[in-house]
Amino acid sequence: MQKIRKRKNTGRVTLQDVAKHAGVGSMTVSRALRTPELVSDKLREKINSAVEELGYIPNSAAGILASGQSRTVAVLVPSLRDNASSVFLQSLQEVLNKNSYQVVIGSHDYQQKKESEVLFTLLQSNPAALVIFGAINSENVFTYLKNIDIPVINVAGESIHPFTLSIKSNIGEAVNFLTRYLLEKGHKKIGYIGAQMDSKIQSQQLSGWNKAMLSHNQSADQSITTPYVATMDFGRQAISEMLTRQPDLEAVICSHEMIALGVMFECQRRLIQVPRMLSVACVEGSSNCDHIHPSLTSVRIDYSKIARETAKKIQKWLADADYDYEAVHEEIIFPYKFEARQSA
């Protein structure tokens, strides 16, 4: 006699369990969870009580298949460790969560090959919109972007792809301004330390420094860069190497706040007085620059404000079923802010 294998019970509370506990039909429970405004207050409270008591977790995938709509926004970031990504994510999530959208996050850690893999995984969740922060944009990424029909927002990244919305800051111009500021202060021997140089944005920084130095007839040969993530350790190692090359270095510009902090800590260890013996400045600065001693001169970009603008655009598109976002290719340039502090 053939033995019949029974389906294993997952132990997961079902919609039917909630309906039975509340003494109503399954369709009523489904309606109360999806469109609570269509259910009476008394019935909604009864169903919500059953949901809480049983610990029911709705199957969002089933809802997406039924309605064809998703309440998730996929966000691809280069790193969860750098300040710009974390500030942007926090503000974006706060705004979208207030409007019942959930953020699904993927990170490629500045690895070009990994970028397309993470993007592919994010797109499998059938998001309502996609945000790419600090894009590297490999060829595979372009292929995926051409074959999706959702709004795609490019933030702080350079790309040839026609995004629905691109939000940028002129980071090359910012570094050029910062370099000229130091040159006008009387510094001539100015170095540049940069991380994550696989990114086109970081390459723009290096170019901005280089152009400013050459326009003032100064040598632009003191630069140390890495394709890896910005850390204080890298800052300490880089300034040590740079001072070995050029002991009379007068100033240094760092691509990230974390690198600049490492530079300043190494200067303290070596008894190099900042700014009397060496001026230090950075890009991607935050309020942390105000609290270190001496306070750190920096260029700052309001990523929190950029995130709120991004969320506002996404909500506008998704709320209007007739909005033709595929025909829209908008670009917004966010200004940078220069904060002169004690370190330079």
Residues 234 and 215 in one domain: yes
Instruction: State how many domains the chain has.
Output: 3
Residues 310 and 277 in one domain: no
Residues 288 and 196 in one domain: yes
Residues 191 and 259 in one domain: yes
Q: What is the pLDDT of residue 124?
A: 81
Residues 309 and 162 in one domain: yes
Q: Does 321 map to a domain?
A: yes
Q: Does 344 map to a domain?
A: no
pLDDT digits over 291-316, tens only? 999 999 999 999 999 999 999 989 88
Q: Does 43 map to a domain?
A: yes
Q: Does 259 map to a domain?
A: yes
Mean pLDDT of 271-279: 97
Per-residue pLDDT band at 5 (split at 50, 70, 90): very low
Domain closes at, from 24, 58, 92: 58
Residues 159 and 191 in one domain: no
Residues 290 and 315 in one domain: no
Per-residue pLDDT band at 125 (split at 50, 70, 90): confident
Three-state SS across the chain? CCCCCCCCCCCCCCHHHHHHHHCCCHHHHHHHHHCHHHCCHHHHHHHHHHHHHHCCCCCHHHHHHHHCCCCEEEEEECCCCCHHHHHHHHHHHHHHHHCCCEEEEEECCCCHHHHHHHHHHHHCCCCCEEEEECCCCCHHHHHHHHCCCCCEEEECCCCCCCCCEEEECCHHHHHHHHHHHHHHCCCCCEEEEECCCCCHHHHHHHHHHHHHHHHCCCCCCCEEECCCCCCHHHHHHHHHHHHHHCCCCCEEEECCHHHHHHHHHHHHHCCCCCCCCCEEEECCCCHHHHCCCCCCEEEECCHHHHHHHHHHHHHHHHHCCCCCHHHCCEEEECCCEEECCCCC
pLDDT digits over 152-184, tens only? 888 887 666 778 888 888 889 999 999 999 999
Does residue 228 surpass a pLDDT of 60? yes
Residues 143 and 184 in one domain: no
Residues 320 and 277 in one domain: no
Is the overall model pTM greater than 0.85, yes or no?
Answer: no
Mean pLDDT of 18-35: 87
Mean pLDDT of the chain: 85
Residues 132 and 249 in one domain: no
Q: Does 10 map to a domain?
A: no
Residues 177 and 146 in one domain: no
The whole domain housing 26 covers 15-58
Q: Does 185 map to a domain?
A: yes
